[in-house]
Amino acid sequence: MAKKALVTGILGQDGPYLAKLLLDKGYKVYGLMRRYSNPSFDNLDYLGITKQVEFVEGDMADESSLLHLIKAILPDEVYNLAAQSFVGGSWQQAKLTTEINSLGVLYMLNAVKLFSPTTRYYQASTSEMFGLGNDDGYQDENTNFHPRSPYGISKVYAYWMTVNFRESYGLFTANGILFNHESPLRGIQFVTRKITDGVARIKLGLADKLALGNLDARRDWGFAGDYVEAMHLMLQQDKGDDYVVGTGENHSVRDFAREAFKCVGISDFEKYIVIDARFKRPAEVPDLKAKATKINALGWKPKVTFPELVKMMVEADLKRLKK
């Protein structure tokens, strides 16, 4: 019989890539979505899999909906990707961010424990938990957490609750501590997609400036399509564990912009950029770089390089805007 996976965050960036991977492996995929009067299936359509996903309604902030779904589906695997995932918005919506990203995880783990304790549970943890990182210039599974935003803090709670359900009740749980990963499906508010969309607009004469905040922040950016493979791999091990996932290479926001403008033949890119204080954060995470040797030892490696990622995103935005 086909394995059953419940994927939350099915309409976001990672949900569709993961759903495609699981469908290709023969899983039956249930996709949890909130109730919308007018939902957008664009990201699933982009990968051509909308019709293959079985949608179920629920909300991470509504415990009863999660209890009901776990009891009804009895999934072999749960991938909890749902979140208020935008760091920049988390200061303005700190309570909502906490309810979805922290309490929602407690509700989901509890539902698994009560109704389907053999389910394997994946938690979408994040390098934002490291925040200030450490002096070694990279972060791994042993690096201390020093989150710098309500988002990062909400995810630290979720991380520890995921560990605690493993230690207290023997559930199979795994934290994927993923560094930033991007794609043509990335939300437009995130800096990579904002840049590739802005560059495409400038190239096509639809805009003449791109407003950004801190150009010096450095991130370890990879391709979302590669990272969902790591999520699946974690749940195929003998026991649940926690893994850092990243490329081991980082670049500044300025580097990303330079590379994106290069894709459309513009070298004097800084003349198109304006610094707007609205896009700076009350507390910044200056520098993230993964040391992913633990997941590498399981056979996972990123395939898409930084220049390939930027090119893929710029080309997708050019195509979309030309339409």
Chain positions contacting ligand NAP, by CB under 6 A: 8-9, 11-15, 34, 59-61, 81-85, 100, 124, 126, 178, 180-181, 187
Nearest-Å Rg of the Cα atoms of the chain is: 19
**Measured from the CB atom, is 199 or 212 closer to ligand GDP?**
212
46 binds, among ligand GDP, ligand NAP, none (CB under 5 to 8 A by kind): none
**Measured from the CB atom, is 160 or 190 closer to ligand GDP?**
190
- Least distance between ligand NAP and beta carbon 131 (Å): 13
Taking residues 261 to 290 in sequence order and writing x for each that binds ligand GDP by CB under 6 A, - otherwise, the string is ------------------x-x--xx-----
Nearest to 272 by CA among 194, 210, 212, 203: 210
Triad 250, 233, 149: Cα angle to 5°: 45
**Residue 151 designated active-site:** yes
Residue 28's alpha-carbon distances to 123, 154, 155, 226, in angstroms, are 20, 30, 28, 21
13 binds, among ligand GDP, ligand NAP, none (CB under 5 to 8 A by kind): ligand NAP
**Measured from the CB atom, is 81 or 174 closer to ligand NAP?**
81
Q: Quick check: 235 and 166 in contact, CB under 8 A?
A: no
253 binds, among ligand NAP, ligand GDP, none (CB under 5 to 8 A by kind): ligand GDP
Q: How far apart are CA 23 and CA 8, in angstroms?
A: 15
Active-site choice (77, 99, 128, 259): 128
Residue 262's alpha-carbon distances to 115, 177, 213, 270, 305, in angstroms, are 53, 31, 20, 12, 16
Q: Quick check: 246 and 178 in contact, CB under 8 A?
A: yes
Q: How far apart are CA 228 and CA 273, in angstroms?
A: 33
**Residue 126 designated active-site:** yes
Question: Of residues 207-236, which lie at the interface with ligand GDP (CB under 6 A)?
Answer: 212-214, 217, 219
- Count residues binding ligand GDP (CB under 6 A): 19
Pairing of strands 251-252, 218-219: antiparallel
Q: How far apart are CA 280 and CA 29, in angstroms?
A: 38
**Measured from the CB atom, is 20 or 203 closer to ligand NAP?**
20
66 binds, among ligand NAP, ligand GDP, none (CB under 5 to 8 A by kind): none
Check residue 160 and report its DSSP letter.
H
100 binds, among ligand NAP, ligand GDP, none (CB under 5 to 8 A by kind): ligand NAP
Q: Given CA atoms 279, 285, 289, 291 in this order, what sign does their dihedral have?
A: negative
**Residue 122 designated active-site:** no
Would you name the residues annotated as active-site residues? Answer: 126, 128, 151
Binding site for ligand GDP (CB under 6 A): 87-88, 128, 180, 189-192, 194, 212-214, 217, 219, 253, 279, 281, 284-285
